[in-house]
Structure 1
Amino acid sequence: MSTIEIQTIPEGMPRLSRGRHRSAKSGACFMEFASYLAGEAWSDSPQCTDPLLAHLARAVNDQLSDARRGEIARDIPRVIGLRGDHRILAPVVAVRAAAAALPVASDGRQRALAGALLALPGLLPAEVAPRVAATARSALDAAPHAEAWAIDHVRRYPVRERELRRYGCAAAVTLSVTGIAEACVTDPQSLLVALLRDAITDVEDVLSTPEPSGVVREVVAVSAA
């Protein structure tokens, strides 16, 4: 874990801005700045961070306004070194994103997010699954109609684990960030900032626990009890 701390962007360093940049001279997104601090080649997909957490960070970076984007600068050092078993970290990040978005997203998005929250915890090993499932359960309780629809949908059209891993986690993150950004709530940008910070904390917690014994192979639904 990095001990670097950033409260504000130092003078002379690139300001956080939307999108990909060819070099620091034209600005930097969250992950490009992370690649710089990690001593890697300039990239918005550095090796120092789990790919899905990096995807979430880029998405949040791009949805924040220029006036609010600087709030996440101090979190850049936290993602340096957050790399582990992607089969475990990806569902953890995706569940956090979907749980944050479900209560505020539009009806159509809520259904898709509820489906993700029902399925994704089942990808996790027993050592990690309970706390992630608890996060999913709390969010599903806030949207019972979406959960009911998703239970029926998953029963009719089950998703293969391979497809869920290959596409489901990234799709859930993308849908979640967009759903929050476009939600009819007072301050969606604060929700985005909180989501990124919570996801980083989740990954930190997983990586600080003993190595899991293995990945659960069977995709199971979150209990409705």
Structure 2
Amino acid sequence: MLSAGRHRTPRTGACFMEWASLLAGEKFSDHPSCTHPLLGHLARMVNDATTDTGRRRLAPLIPSVVGLTSEDPRWDDDVAVAAALVALPVAQEEDRRALAAGVLTCERLRALHRPVHADRRADGYADGKADGEDPDDGIRPATRAALAGTPRATAWALDFTAGLVRLQSLRDPASALTEHAVLSVVRLGRDDTDELLARMLRDAIAAVRGEEGAHRAPAQALPTRTVTAG
């Protein structure tokens, strides 16, 4: 059973990432090395913001994050954008603006990290460029289509981000965007909040698993032991 917060031992309960650490054979922790740091951060936020009933439905996702990690800097942006695009259509207008600006920023940072000889078709491009797409824009077609659903917020975000002098000078925009995505959904108090949060996590997992060069780090050998969780 999953429960909110951090726990000292499995006997007092375990959150999403603490169970992941057990499955990986690591020391019991909510920050196991078997999962990409920002993906783990999203999982902890989703776990804690979800109701007790909804949290049970997160359990089947735990094995999918075990060993899912990479040093590819694009993973941070993929996790953040995936979470933000779930929140964007339902968020309040002020939050939509911040989310759209964050998505544009992370997409452009991600483009800076794209390998020079990478096949852009893996990012949704055909022959290196989508129809009507500026090849130097850095915004993937799927992301552009999602932003088109919130035209006012996107127009504001385009104007705002145009004033950024250097993208590289921004401090951890992917983490900030991920956190804002979760909070913008939670503060709405919708009946489908649990499902929206779960979809953020599912979409983020799918985004990094589909990334070129994605790999699953080998998990440690599972110890022989009995675990009792509250």
TM-score when scaled to structure 1? 0.79
| Corresponding residue for residue 118 of structure 1 | 104
| Corresponding residue for residue 145 of structure 2 | 138
* Structure with the higher fraction of residues in helix conformation: 1
| Corresponding residue for residue 174 of structure 2 | 169
Q: Secondary structure in 1 aligned to 2:100?
A: helix
Deviates more, 1:21-30 or 1:199-208: 199-208
Number of aligned positions between the proteins: 194
Counterpart CA distance in 1 for 2:54 and 2:42 is 17
Pick from 68, 87, 91: which aligns with 1:105?
91
Query: Is residue 167 of structure 2 the alignment partner of residue 160 of structure 1?
Result: yes
Spell out the pairing of 1:1-225 with structure 2 (5 A cutoff).
15-124=1-110, 125=114, 127=120, 129-130=123-124, 133-158=140-165, 160-163=167-170, 166-183=171-188, 185-206=190-211
Counterpart CA distance in 1 for 2:162 and 2:35 is 35
Q: Which consecutive residues of structure 1, in runs of 5 or more, have no partner in the other structure?
A: 1-14, 211-225
TM-score when scaled to structure 2? 0.78
- Higher relative contact order, chain-length normalized (CA < 8 Å, sep 6+): 2
Letter of the 2:23 counterpart: L
Counterpart CA distance in 1 for 2:35 and 2:212 is 12
Q: Residues 95 and 135 of structure 1 are in contact (CA less than 8 Å); yes or no, is this contact kept in structure 2?
A: no
Which has the larger Rg? 2
Distance 1:129 1:159, change over 3 A: farther
Counterpart CA distance in 2 for 1:147 and 1:108 is 11
| Corresponding residue for residue 11 of structure 1 | none
Counterpart CA distance in 2 for 1:106 and 1:147 is 13
Deviation at 1:136, TM superposition (A): 2.0
Q: Which consecutive residues of structure 2, in runs of 5 or more, have no partner in the other structure?
A: 126-138, 216-230
Counterpart CA distance in 1 for 2:93 and 2:178 is 17
Q: Secondary structure in 2 aligned to 1:40?
A: coil
Counterpart CA distance in 2 for 1:145 and 1:151 is 10
Q: Residues 4 and 47 of structure 2 are in contact (CA less than 8 Å); yes or no, is this contact kept in structure 1?
A: yes
Distance 1:32 1:162, change over 3 A: farther
Counterpart CA distance in 1 for 2:65 and 2:207 is 11
